[in-house]
A and B are shown apart, each in its own frame.
Chain A
Amino acid sequence: MLCVVRNALGELAAKLGFPEPDCRAVVLAVDEALTNIIRHAYLGDAERPIEASFRRIQVARDGKSAEALEILLEDRGVTVNQEKMCGRALEDVRPGGLGLHFIRESMDTVEFSRKWGRNQLRLVKFLHTNGPRKGS
């Protein structure tokens, strides 16, 4: 299922006018976030529900209004331990622990919260382009 989400999200980001490297960044961040939910919140169960919503928003940036893509991911898994969500030092060469680093490097805003028995992850990517919008 992850590859289906990746393909759809890549198309969506391109239609919103994100340049190719930013499309890849958004896809990587969401893929890593979903992987973390399956692994940590659902303890490896890939069949549990994850709600995802995507919307174009206006954000204030450097005193101006800018367009961005907001992504909300919600799961009903176990509470995410915020201390474990700090990633790890990259100098430590070992497998694992890279997912959160990828998410933080790829997105402009990364926010975790726990509401009404659900984990929520909010991701925002600013639209950096001066060219014409490819889609609407």
Chain B
Amino acid sequence: MQIAARHLDKITIFDISGDIDLATSPQLRKALLRELRELKMPRVVLNLGAVRYIDSSGVASLVEGLKASRDVGSRLILFGLNKTVREVLQLSKLVRIFEIYDNEEQSVAT
């Protein structure tokens, strides 16, 4: 998994690619919690368009990020979900709790 960060005003955008699994999800969790808890960014946006696979540990990292965002009063937004990622989130029944958009423009503008 690769994570690249971009900054747009007070928005952090993470471009994530590859597989989010047992081995790589701690890296995602750490990046999310740093941005939300330490840097207190008002909005963190995850571009998941190039994510090939996500497992339950990856979903758990997203949930932890979402909880951290609620704790500090910021927003965690997902966009670019492909079929694989969407299926796993739907299977978890957690897809409804996330703020999800189709593209980056919507994610930073809304």
A residues with a Cβ closer than 8 A to B are 2-3, 6, 21, 24, 27-28, 31-32, 35, 38-39, 46, 90, 93-96, 98-99, 101-102, 105-106
- The answer to whether A98 and B21 touch (CB under 8 A), given A28-B88, A90-B92, A105-B91, is no
Known: A2-B21, A32-B55. A102 touches B88 (CB 8 A): yes
Q: Inside 8 A of B94's CB, which chain A residues have their CB? A: 90, 93
Q: Taking the nearest CB of chain B, how far is it from the CB of A41, in angstroms?
A: 14
A28 — which chain B residues lie within 8 A by C-beta?
55, 88, 91
Is B31 on the interface with A (CB-CB < 8 A)? no
Binding site for A on B (CB under 8 A): 19, 21-23, 53, 55-57, 59-61, 63-64, 67, 84, 87-88, 91-94, 97
Given A94-B67, A95-B61, A102-B91, 20 extra CB contacts under 8 A: A2-B22, A3-B19, A6-B19, A24-B84, A28-B91, A31-B21, A31-B53, A32-B56, A35-B22, A38-B22, A39-B22, A46-B23, A95-B59, A95-B60, A95-B64, A95-B67, A96-B60, A99-B56, A101-B91, A102-B88
When C-beta atoms are compared, the residue in chain B nearest to A1 turns out to be B23
Q: List 20 A-B contacts (CB under 8 A).
A: A2-B23, A3-B19, A21-B87, A24-B84, A31-B55, A32-B55, A35-B21, A35-B22, A35-B55, A46-B22, A90-B92, A93-B67, A93-B97, A94-B63, A95-B64, A96-B56, A98-B60, A99-B56, A102-B88, A105-B91
With both chains docked as a complex, state the minimum distance between the C-beta of B95 and any C-beta of chain A, in angstroms: 11
Contact B63 A3 (CB under 8 A): no
State in angstroms the CA–CA spacing of A35 and B22 once bound together.
7
Give the residue among B19, B56, B87 with the most A Cβ atoms within 10 A.
Answer: B56
| Complex alpha-carbon distance, A101 and B84, angstroms | 17
Which residues on the B side are within 8 Å of A21 (C-beta)? 87
List A contacts of B55 (CB < 8 A): 28, 31-32, 35, 99, 102
Residues of A within 8 A of B88 (CB): 28, 102
Q: Contact at B97–A98, with CB atoms within 8 Å?
A: no
Residues in A neighbouring B63, C-beta threshold 8 A? 93-95
